[in-house]
Amino acid sequence: MQVSTPPTQREAASAAEQGARRVPELHDPHLFLNRELSWLQFNLRVLEEAADASLPIFERLKFLAIVSSNLDEFFMVRVAGLKQQQLGGVSETGADGLLPNEQLAAISTIVHAMTEEQHGVWARDILPCLQRYGLHLIAPDAFDAQQRTAARAHFAQNVFPALTPLAVDPGHPFPHLRNKSINVAVLLRKEGRRRRKDPRDTSLAVVQVPAVLERLVRIPAASGQAFALLEDIIAAFAGDLFPGYAVKQATAFRVTRNWDLDIDE
């Protein structure tokens, strides 16, 4: 029979020391994952599904849309909260050791790369595949004569009456735009016979794209089905909204607002 002897005091102390070395320092920031950055990694995984050529094209398109929807919520809630901490001068860090401004900088880097890849998947993979199925998304500068005539008629009959251009100048501050709204910014120059250009002749206006109208506008096509985006049509014919002005430039943009509520106690 084998009888075990109890460890000596030195052996017990040595074993305890070795065990202590194996226990990690729980205050080490490297042991913790940042919640916001981890969430972005999840959204990158969704983007990988959109880029997976083995999936059906409409499944990939759905995943691409989910990426955008997820980013909307992320910026409305989580980024908004970090912005408020930054404005409030919060200097405390979480378990991961990151300050609000450090998190915002990391988020900006990741999201810029993510959206660049998202646009690449759309332009490089999804759009050409849709075209092979006979579905075409046409930009106004690629309209043929028939398509331009149809788009202008749709604009005049259905879109123009629903638009309210908003001027942006010292007498009209930048307007409050709805959350998740699509808008068109229009840079205008006053028409006249002046020989020298006066900066005061240049002005900015904003046109909010009506949410009640279909965003995809069907236009004539020689084969298959062709569509144009409503905001592109508004930008193409924005000159009709501003008589006496020439449109120098028009571009669409989208607004994502802070969903956090400030409650006065």
At residue 78, the pLDDT reads: 93
Distance separating alpha carbons of residues 80 and 58, to the nearest angstrom: 32
Q: Residues 40-54: pLDDT tens digits?
A: 999 999 999 999 999
Q: For residue 65, how far is the Cα from the chain centroid? A: 11
Number of C-alpha atoms within 13 angstroms, CB side, residue 221? 15
Class of domain 31-132: mainly alpha
Mean pLDDT across the stretch 52-64? 97
- 87-96: which pairs have CB atoms within 8 A and are 24 or more residues apart? 93/29, 94/32, 94/34, 94/35, 95/29, 95/32, 96/29, 96/32, 96/33, 96/34
CA dist., res. 97 & res. 79, Å (int): 17
What are the pLDDT digits (tens) for 155-185?
999 999 999 999 898 878 888 999 999 999 9
Tell me the average pLDDT of the chain. 88
The band of 70, judged by pLDDT with boundaries at 50, 70 and 90, is: very high
CB 49 within 8 A of CB 125: no
121 CB burial (10 A radius; 0-12, 13-18, 19+): buried
Q: How confident is the model at residue 88 (pLDDT cuts 50, 70, 90)?
A: confident
**Residue limits of CATH 3.30.1840.10 in the chain:** 135-254
User: For the domain 135-254, what is the CATH code?
Assistant: 3.30.1840.10
Q: Is the pLDDT of residue 231 over 60?
A: yes
| Residue intervals in the chain for CATH 1.20.58.310 | 31-132
The answer to whether residue 93 scores a pLDDT higher than 90 is no
Please give the residue that has the higher pLDDT: either 244 or 3: 244
* pTM of the predicted protein model: 0.81
| Ranges 38-52, 93-107, 135-149: which has the least confidence | 93-107
Tell me how far apart the alpha carbons of residues 135 and 137 are, in angstroms, rounded to a whole number.
7
Separation between Cα atoms, residue 161 and residue 123, nearest integer Å? 33
Confidence class for position 17, pLDDT limits 50, 70, 90: low
- Pairing status of strand 225-229 against strand 135-137: parallel
